[in-house]
A and B are shown apart, each in its own frame.
Chain A
Amino acid sequence: DIVMTQSPDSLAVSLGERATINCKSSQSVLYSPNNKDYLAWYQQKPGQPPKLLIYWASTRESGVPDRFSGSGSGTDFTLTINSLQAEDVAVYYCQQYYSTPITFGQGTRLEIK
């Protein structure tokens, strides 16, 4: 199984500042034939299902504000939230869909400082 490890577990950032969440996979999720990283990021607010933010490691889902961006390849990935807004308070998960079992990181709780 591919183990996904996020850091930090929780994060407090001031409004308007940048938040950075890291995700490391225990093996590469880069599929060489199409050169795509099978890595997604989700945002989950209390009482709601997760919402897709980023897929293929860096492609922003339609309707997601451009302050959200994803980067990285292979085994190391980053979700960056620029100019943090109050509505960004949530738990963020990375996910690999390279192989089954599909696995998620443990989650990173983002709060306002």
Chain B
Amino acid sequence: QVQLAGSGGGVVQPGRSLRLSCAASGLTFNNYGMHWVRQAPGKGLEWVAVISSDGKTQVYADSVKGRFTISRDNSRSTLFLQLNSLRTEDTAVYYCAKAGFVGSYMFYFDYWGQGALVTVSS
């Protein structure tokens, strides 16, 4: 079955960088758009970014635009999120999520990773 295994979280100081990974299995990875969604402690869900199945299109939330970069390696079935210039308000659990249908990334999310906790603190 489909599995999304997130990794790379940790504690980092403000202004520093971190890279998250999401390894996918049980699916033809290069058929699907992929998303990152975050959830601050005790808060709701916030969409962060999406990348198309071929990696050519990326769209970001305004709150992370210019600081975060979404990418993918279809040969390794892995999704990435590079987090630069981190702020305390970026502290959250970061989930990778799979678009629910082949082709367009504008679909519901049918599978989610377990999440990676990023804590930004001095």
A104 touching B44, Cβ below 8 Å: yes
A residues touching B (Cβ–Cβ < 8 Å)?
A: 38, 40, 42, 44, 49-52, 55-56, 61, 93, 95, 97-107
Contacts of B61 in A (CB 8 A): 101
B108 touching A100, Cβ below 8 Å: no
Contacts of A61 in B (CB 8 A): 110
B59 touching A93, Cβ below 8 Å: no
A98 touching B44, Cβ below 8 Å: no
B44 touching A49, Cβ below 8 Å: no
B108 touching A55, Cβ below 8 Å: yes
B residues touching A (Cβ–Cβ < 8 Å)?
A: 35, 44-47, 50, 59, 61-62, 95, 100, 106-110, 112-115
How far, in angstroms, from A61 to B106 measured CA to CA in the complex? 17
How far, in angstroms, from A87 to B61 measured CA to CA in the complex? 33
How far, in angstroms, from A107 to B46 measured CA to CA in the complex? 11
Also in contact, A97 and B45, with CB within 8 A (given A49-B95, A49-B113, A49-B114): no
A102 touching B50, Cβ below 8 Å: yes
B47 touching A102, Cβ below 8 Å: yes
Task: Enumerate the 8 nearest inter-chain pairs by beta-carbon distance, A residue then B residue, closest first.
Answer: A49-B112, A40-B108, A55-B108, A102-B47, A104-B45, A107-B44, A100-B59, A101-B61
Also in contact, A52 and B110, with CB within 8 A (given A100-B50, A101-B47, A102-B35): yes
B69: min CB distance to chain A, Å: 16
B107 touching A97, Cβ below 8 Å: yes
Contacts of A50 in B (CB 8 A): 45, 95, 109, 112
Contacts of B110 in A (CB 8 A): 52, 55, 61
A107: min CB distance to chain B, Å: 5
How far, in angstroms, from A50 to B44 measured CA to CA in the complex? 11
A52 touching B100, Cβ below 8 Å: yes
Contacts of A107 in B (CB 8 A): 44-45
Contacts of B59 in A (CB 8 A): 100-101
Also in contact, A98 and B45, with CB within 8 A (given A49-B112, A49-B113, A49-B115): no
Contacts of B35 in A (CB 8 A): 102
Give the nearest-CB partner of A106 in chain B.
B44
How far, in angstroms, from A99 to B44 measured CA to CA in the complex? 19
